[in-house]
Amino acid sequence: MAQHSWVPDQGDGTYLNPIVHADYSDPDVIRVGSDFYMTASSFGHVPGMPILHSRDLVNWRLINHAVPRMPLAGYDAPQHGGGVWAPSLRYHAGKYWIYYGDPDVGILMTTADDPAGEWAPLHLAKPGKGLIDVCPLWDEDGRAYLIHAYAHSRSGIKHKLNLCEMSADGRKVLGEGRIVYDGTDKHPTLEGPKLYKRDGYYYIFAPAGGVATGWQTVFRSDSVWGPYEDRIVLHQGETEVNGPHQGGWVELASGESWFVHFQDKGPYGRVVHLQPMNWEDGWPVMGERRPGEAIGEPVLRYRKPNVGEACAVEVPATSDEFDASQLGLQWQWQANPDVRWYSLSERPGFIRLHAVPRQGESGGLYQAPNLLMQKFPAPTFVAESLVDATGLKVGDNGGLIVFGYRYSCLAVRRGSANVGVADHADDANSALTLYLAAGDKSGEAELWSLPLTGTELVRLRVEVSADASCVYSYSLDDGASYDAIPAKAFQASEGHWVGAKLGLFASGSGGGQLEVDWFRVSARVGAQN
């Protein structure tokens, strides 16, 4: 694990928060036997709805995506901020169930017999605008329910939680339901509800107060329809863990309770935390309470959950040697992938990225569907790739990218100084150039360039510091030495509801390709958790 940039398991029976320092927003978690599974929002990125597995709630591995491609209209192009919002994961009647709200479509669901296997095609359980943050509950009497919040931007409704009855087979939401809690006065921006039943009480776990500045509330009633009492059970207090925002409760075979939630860290996205949880007088107590305080605060370091066994140290994958027949599960595209974008078989041991014409009027990469990217994995890290630019044709370019509302790329182009524009000039103008560019949805500008002579193999590297600033460098001698780009450090930014991402691209009008031998992510020298 020494080469990994963030390892929460401290090897001494304790763990460090976040348990996943990556943008797994709106996490939900369940236990089935001795296995834990987690899913999270994926918004418009494809494949969507990640499935992670753990044996101890601390060490997590990405094992699948429930949505390999989006079947809804429009997802052949980027849908920034759309798509999968705040899914809920449940195990019921021998199946795994996921429900989520698409704010522009309605409530969708899917099931699987094996979370690591194939999930059923998405099914629309209730159409409607602004229905988000959904969670089902199957009661002991055979009746089923679904609770949800609202996206104000689509529905005009805010601060309220709505409960509906659902068909027993889970495929249809029955009727409009009713508002079971209005948080306008006490818990504004109430959202992200999770519905549970314990010892005859119905519980709604829901954050309020906003993603960056809010708190965790729990509501309790002896009737699923309410009325509900409320209690704040977790807040930032004197810690640096802002939010703390929505997540899920899980109970261990040992009887322990734990709560998984996220913290919004701007460019790093919404990272995942694990809080100890106890029950007092029928109410949950999360985190740790300071002397004289009634509300818990997030823990930074704590003993690991008692799962009765020692578990192997694992982290979600980041590096990829491109030796397999499939991409690593950490990779996502900006839209439904097209087989014409890439190949792992045309040159074994490499990924071949075919140059795709840029989309949109700006000429930049903000609307490019063919960006192959993954999440920032840690506060500090180094990402590096070896690219072979031999196959680029005039007007093509490709390389390393850090993406968000703002993006930057260190790339190689052949020919024209106008990135992505074909230049059929003489051979002298068709040489390769290494360049650094930055852009956003309004366009792209070149910041630096260097003509390349005598080499088409380049190592591209970006070092990310704890403030999410990015310094690029390159090597023309296979890593024997690196030259820093003489330009101001690029400040990474979050995207639409997501953290910054990093990865690879190839674009242009020449019809060529960029070949990438490997993509490696590692800890920065001297950096520690």
Tens of pLDDT, residue by residue over 470-526, are: 999 999 999 999 999 998 999 999 999 999 999 999 999 999 999 999 999 999 765
Estimate the share of the chain in helix, then strand, then coil, as percent rounded to the nearest 5. Answer: 0, 45, 50
**Listed residue (500, 361, 384) closest to 444, CA to CA:** 361
State yes or no: pLDDT of 226 exceeds 50. Answer: yes
Alpha-carbon span 29 to 219, nearest angstrom: 19
Mean pLDDT of 365-389: 97
Question: What is the pLDDT averaged over residues 115-119?
Answer: 98
Identify the active-site residue in 26, 388, 444, 463.
26
Confidence band for 157, pLDDT divided at 50, 70 and 90: very high
Ordered DSSP codes for 57-75: SSSEEEEEEEESS--STTT
- Give the mean pLDDT of 452-469: 94
Active site residue 26: yes
Question: Nearest to residue 151, comparing CAs of 116, 201, 192?
Answer: 192
**What does the pLDDT look like over 52-74, one tens digit per residue?**
999 999 999 999 999 999 999 99
230 catalytic per annotation: no
Whole-number Å distance between alpha carbons of 270 and 268:
7
Nearest to 507 by CA among 374, 399, 390, 405: 399
Instruction: Assess contact for 54 and 101: CB atoms under 8 A.
Output: no
- The pLDDT, as a whole number, for residue 2 is 54
Is residue 460 over pLDDT 70? yes
360 pLDDT more than 90: no
Nearest-angstrom CA–CA distance, 436 and 444 = 10
Which H or E run includes 152? helix 152-155
Distance CA(203)–CA(208), nearest Å, equals: 15
Q: b/e for 175-198, b at 16 or more Cβ within 10 A?
A: eebeebbebeeebebbbbbbbbee
CA–CA dist 210, 136 (Å, integer):
23
What tens digit of pLDDT does each residue of 380-426 get? 999 999 999 999 999 999 999 999 999 999 999 998 545 444 444 44
| 240-296 pLDDT, tens digit each | 999 999 999 999 999 999 999 999 999 999 999 999 999 999 999 999 999 999 999
Looking at residue 420, what is its pLDDT? 44
- What residues pair up with 464 in beta bridges, in sequence order? 381, 470
The reported pLDDT for the residue numbered 230 is 98
Does 527 have pLDDT greater than 90?
no
Q: Using CB atoms within 10 Å of the CB of residue 122, give its burial: 0 to 12 exposed, 13 to 18 middle, 19+ buried.
A: buried
CB 414 within 8 A of CB 432: yes
User: What confidence tier does 13 reach under pLDDT thresholds 50, 70, 90?
Assistant: very high
Residues in the chain: 529
pLDDT over 70 (residue 1):
no
Q: State how far the Cα of 268 lies from the Cα of 288, in Å rounded to an integer.
A: 25
| Residue 511 confidence (pLDDT) | 93
Q: How far is Cα 205 from Cα 230, in angstroms, rounded to an integer?
A: 10
CATH 3.10.450.50 fits 342-522, yes or no: no
Domain 42-246 has CATH 3.40.50.261: no
Confidence band, pLDDT 50/70/90 cuts, at residue 468: very high
Measuring CA to CA, which residue among 383, 398, 409 is closest to residue 490?
409
Is the model's pLDDT at 27 over the cut of 70? Answer: yes
Catalytic residue among 9, 23, 56, 191: 191
Q: What does the pLDDT read at residue 529?
A: 59
> What is the residue-averaged pLDDT of the chain?
95
Lowest mean pLDDT among 168-177, 222-231, 359-368, 372-381: 359-368
CA atoms within 13 A of residue 520's CA, in its CB half-sphere: 14
pLDDT band, very low/low/confident/very high, at 330 (cuts 50, 70, 90): very high
Per-residue pLDDT tens digits for 212-223: 999 999 999 999
DSSP-assigned letters across all residues of 484-528: E-SSPPEE----SSS--EEEEEEEESS--EEEEEEEEEEPPTT--
Burial of 447 by CB count in 10 Å (0-12 exposed, 13-18 middle, 19+ buried)? Answer: middle
Per domain, the residue ranges of the chain are: 42-246, 342-522
Q: Is the pLDDT of residue 348 over 80?
A: yes
